[in-house]
A = this chain, B = another copy of it.
Amino acid sequence: MSHVELLKQYELKATPQRLCVLGVLEKYGHATLDDIEKYTKVKFPTLSLSTIYRNLNEMLKKDLLSEVKLVNKKDYFEIKKEKHSHLICKECGKIEDYTIQTDELVEQIETLTSNKILSATVSFDIICKECLSTK
């Protein structure tokens, strides 16, 4: 789906500024606020920081984006997609997405604790295969 359609679907106007932010998120997969500011300025030098903040907040609220929080890292933004976990390389910092089945885990905890489990969020600290091979 094009970003224009995506924005329409979430009842947001398809402004050049929003398309530019989405372009960066699409291209890099995950991006911090600083990344977004830096990379959008290349194509769109007049895009203001307050517009970036407003649009990120708007798109988060409408659930078009999601925010990823990792200890010792700045928060990342990504275009919302199928629920997935993150593999963070401690060597090069790269973040990969990976979809895992958590049903078993969820069921297990639900049974053991008598709580209702709504969802599981999982991330992994890794050394990626590229970093492993260049050592």
Which residues of A come within 8 Å of B, CB atoms? Answer: 66-71, 87, 89-90, 96, 98, 100, 105-106, 108-109, 113-129, 132
Contacting pair B118 A125 (CB below 8 A): yes
Contacting pair B121 A126 (CB below 8 A): no
Tell me, in angstroms, the Cα distance from A83 to B129 when the chains sit together.
25
The A interface is mostly helix, strand or loop, or mixed, namely strand
- On chain B, the residues within 8 Å of A128 by CB distance are 115
Tell me, in angstroms, the Cα distance from A124 to B120 when the chains sit together.
4
Query: Please, which residue of chain B has its CB at the minimum distance from the CB of A89?
Result: B115
- On chain B, the residues within 8 Å of A89 by CB distance are 115
Given contacts A70-B69, A122-B122, contact A113 B87 (CB under 8 A): yes
